[in-house]
Amino acid sequence: MTTAETLRRYAAMPVPRYTSYPTAAEFTADVGPADHAAWLRRLPLQESVSLYLHVPYCRALCHYCGCHAKMAVRDHVSRTYQRALEAEIALVGGLLPGRLKVARLAWGGGTPGILGSAGLASVLGVLRQHVDFEPDMEHSIELDPRHVDAASARDLAALGVNRVSLGVQDLDPAVQREIGRIQPGELVAKAVDDLRAAGLGSINVDLIYGLPAQTVDSIRATCASVVALRPRRVAFYGYAHLPERRANQRLIDPAKLPGTAERFEQATTIAEIFQASGYVPIGIDHFAVPDDRLALAAPNGQLRRNFQGYTDDDRPSVIGFGASAVSRLPDGYAQNIADNPRYVRCIEAGGLATCRGKRLDEDDRARARIIEALMCNFRADLAALDPQHDYADELALLRPLAADGMLTIKGSRIEMTEQGRPVVRVAAAIFDSFRSQTANRFSLAV
């Protein structure tokens, strides 16, 4: 079997994305509001934290979307949600041991901009009643380029936003028709110009491969257009087709989806184009300009991975607000109800909306360190990361990958080879004590 065939075989394996360990697939109802409240009370005051605000609404729902998002045509829907979000912030603020310092603040969705400038400002006002924003806090927001103009860009800058992530996904008209997201390249370019004119120069672009009607040639054209915009960062993700879980994905014709071999070629093409254009590869699915903080963090071993993907954020705690939001706390993970109306009702009743989570033990924490080291640095020294545990079984399971040239094993040190890096999730899964053999539980490795 050739190296290319071997890579494609591993690329077709269903494994988690490992934006957390244990993954959200292992969260259970054993963790509830009382646990979440106790964990918040125990947060150390001397450590700054990160905050995540989830706004699960869009004006229209794209066919490919796998997020916890709903369509909100009427403004009263988003206003009701905004009031619940502010009430949750006040509730959590009352549980904290004091005024925590915030080093990172991220808005995700959905489309957080659906709250409007006044709504975003109102939420920030409630936050400031309970926490202190550090002067150099990174304040990021996910935006739909179709709803960005010069006025909204200026408003975001006035609110202190200093990093923007644009959901571009693909710029080919045929692909856009298939995924129900029409946004011409000229529209995206204007959004970028408006943001930069407002002083928001730290722009990320998100792309997706494996979409219906997408080809290697169309990917090349999209990448060329994005390179011309020169964003600071680019992230690209493989589309996971799960129509049994997401009703909107049933609008996609599975016959038009690229196969495993073509998906792999698309991902490889994206990587080649951005590296050739002067971008530094970050982990398995990000690129950054050489002087970006991610590019500087990666070679120093300071790259991290969380639910937002790769980051240089080393804060041990992330407090999540909103429907489906996940909090990562020293004691474990706590996730809110994903159903928007139920989330609102829980908060209006005066209680936390926590519905599930995962308590962490020392084995979980050790395996999380190993998996994160592999995902971020493509190497892990088991003896250094967990000297108390014997990973002989895991090393034995890794030997077939070593025989195939995907990685090397030297004593307790594991390192992905250059050709094996794209399938690092397969190696990481060996250390996942919860991993399942259920093929449709996770996305493909590439």
**pLDDT, one tens digit for every residue, the chain (446 residues):** 667 788 888 888 889 999 999 999 999 999 999 999 999 999 999 999 999 999 999 888 898 987 777 777 677 889 999 999 999 999 999 999 999 999 999 999 889 999 999 999 999 999 999 999 999 999 999 999 999 999 999 999 999 999 999 999 999 999 999 999 999 999 999 999 999 999 999 999 999 999 999 999 999 999 999 999 999 999 999 998 989 888 899 999 999 999 988 998 999 999 999 999 999 999 999 999 999 999 999 998 899 999 888 999 999 999 999 999 999 999 999 999 999 999 999 999 999 999 999 999 999 999 999 999 999 999 999 999 999 999 999 999 999 999 999 999 999 999 999 999 999 999 999 999 998 544 445 566 56
Three state DSSP letters for 108-131 = EECCHHHHHHHHHHHHHHHHHCCC
277 and 379 fall within a common domain: no
Q: What is the pLDDT of residue 1?
A: 62
The answer, yes or no, to whether the previous bond of 259 is cis (omega within 30 of 0) is no
218 and 151 fall within a common domain: yes
Tell me which residue range forms the domain holding 339: 27-359
Q: What is the CATH number of the domain that holds 404?
A: 1.10.10.920
351 and 375 fall within a common domain: no
205: nearest Cα among 223, 182, 181, 179: 223
Taking the C-alpha atoms of residue 83 and residue 79, their distance in angstroms, rounded to an integer, is 6
One-letter amino acid at 410 equals K
Please give the model's pTM, rounded to 2 decimal places: 0.93
210 and 119 fall within a common domain: yes
Counting beta carbons within 10 angstroms of the beta carbon of residue 400, is it exposed (0 to 12), middle (13 to 18) or buried (19 or more)? Answer: exposed
Residue with tokens 């120093």: 300
58 and 205 fall within a common domain: yes
270 and 375 fall within a common domain: no
Domain boundary among 334, 359, 384: 359
Q: ∠420-423-426 over CA atoms, to 5°?
A: 120
380 and 253 fall within a common domain: no
352 and 365 fall within a common domain: no
44 and 141 fall within a common domain: yes
Q: Number of folded domains in the chain?
A: 2
Report the SS3 class of residue 296. helix
Q: What is the CATH number of the domain that holds 146?
A: 3.80.30.20
Domain boundary among 300, 324, 359: 359
231 and 302 fall within a common domain: yes
171: nearest Cα among 193, 189, 197, 153: 189
- Residue 128: φ, ψ to 5°: -65, -20
Sheet of strand 379-381, all strands in order from the earlier edge strand to the far edge: 379-381, 413-416, 407-410
18 and 31 fall within a common domain: no
Domain boundary among 329, 359, 389: 359
351 and 390 fall within a common domain: no
Taking the C-alpha atoms of residue 440 and residue 162, their distance in angstroms, rounded to an integer, is 38
Q: What is the pLDDT of residue 437?
A: 43
Give the DSSP per-residue string, 382-437. HHHH-TT---HHHHHHHHHHHHTTSEEEETTEEEE-TTTGGGHHHHHHTT-TT---
